[in-house]
Amino acid sequence: MNALLVMILFAASGNSAYKNGEFQKALEVWQKRAKTDESPAVQYNLGAAHYRLGQFDEARKAFERAASAKDKKLQEKSRYNAGNAAFKANDLEGAIQNYEDVLKSEKDADAEHNLSLARKLLQQQKEQKENERKEQEEEKEKKKQDQQKNQQQDQQPKEQEEKKQQQGKNDKQDKPMPNKAEQKEAPQDIPGAPFTREQAKRLLENLRETRPKAERQTGAQGPGGKNW
């Protein structure tokens, strides 16, 4: 069996599996074929099998390799499908690049539609990221303000206590101190205050001693020095 016949059988086997929905089997057939045949057609089929299996990154790479084909139609199909694979992989910038490459050579309504959609979604992603960034900054600033507020609240009782202590010291310093005379001054007797028994006894004794002397001194004398 010559090489050409083998290639034909490989192609028929891969195409048959692909049409029957046996994408894994088709992929395996095309992977074996790619070891000896690096043609754009084989790469295109590899890309198609990867795409159907949801392996979009691998599909995009295979389609982009197939886009090197000299056949203009295969080249444009490869670029378009590479754009779709990139779109599915959420690589919107890669999708936009491939769709733009398609439109450089021809007018394609599907490519134009997909390009517009990819650009719109990319803009939305950028706006979403910017909003998330702002929200994160606002949240960070809010936490910072809350921390400062809590610190101020914690500091206030301490400051009030220190102020209270300082005020107490100031009050002690400002309070007038009594002078020595005021401190040593004894209480004075109040005129007319009640006498104690002892004082009353002494007073009576004094009165008895002084009264006769006063009478002798003050009484009028008659002739001979006798009292009248």
Give dist(CA 225, CA 218) in Å, integer: 13
pLDDT confidence bin for 66, thresholds 50/70/90: very high
Quote the number of domains for the chain. Answer: 1
Write out the DSSP string of 122-135: HHHHHHHHHHHHHH
For 158-198, how does the pLDDT look when each residue is reduced to its tens digit (9 = 90+)?
Answer: 777 777 787 777 766 665 555 544 444 444 444 444 556 67
**Residue scoring higher pLDDT (74 or 197):** 74
Residue pLDDT, tens place only, 7-62: 555 567 888 899 999 999 999 999 999 999 989 999 999 999 999 999 999 999 99
Domain membership of residue 109 (yes or no) is no
Reduce the DSSP state of residue 221 to 3 states and report it: strand
Asked whether 33 and 43 are in contact (CB, 8 A), the reply is no
Tokens found for residue 184: 């040593």
Q: Is the pLDDT of residue 99 over 90?
A: yes
Q: What is the pLDDT of residue 160?
A: 77
Q: How far is it, in rounded angstroms, from Cα 203 to Cα 11?
A: 153
60, part of any domain: yes
pLDDT at residue number 152: 77
221 within a domain of the structure (yes/no): no
**61-68 CB contacts, 8 Å cutoff, 24+ apart:** 64/98, 65/40, 66/40, 66/41, 67/40, 67/101, 68/40
The string of pLDDT tens digits covering residues 201-224 is 776 676 565 444 444 444 434 334
Is 170 inside any structural domain? no
Query: Rounded distance, CA 100 to CA 111, Å?
Result: 8
**157 within domain boundaries:** no
DSSP string, 13-71: HHHHHHHTT-HHHHHHHHHHHHTT---HHHHHHHHHHHHHTT-HHHHHHHHHHHTT-SS
pLDDT of residue 183: 45
Cβ–Cβ under 8 Å, residues 84 and 114: yes
Asked if the structure places residue 10 within a domain, the reply is yes
Residue 40 is part of a domain; what is its CATH number?
1.25.40.10
**Is residue 49 one of the residues assigned to a domain?**
yes
Which of 36, 28, 93 has its CA nearest to residue 60?
Answer: 93
pLDDT at 218: 40
- The residues facing 221 across adjacent strands are 227
- Evaluate the CA torsion angle 52, 56, 58, 62 in order and state its sign: positive
Note whether residue 207 is domain-resident. no
What tokens appear for 85 in the block? 């694979």
**CA max distance for the chain:** 198
Q: Which domain holds residue 55?
A: 3-91
| pLDDT for residue 2 | 52
Q: What is the DSSP letter of 106?
A: S
Residues 50 and 62 sit within 8 Å (Cβ to Cβ) = yes
pTM: 0.58
pLDDT at position 158: 73
SS (H, E, C) 195-206: CCHHHHHHHHHH
- Is residue 44 within 8 A of residue 76, CB to CB? The reply is no
User: Average pLDDT, stretch 133-142?
Assistant: 88
Query: Residue 227: which pLDDT band, with cuts at 50, 70 and 90?
Result: very low
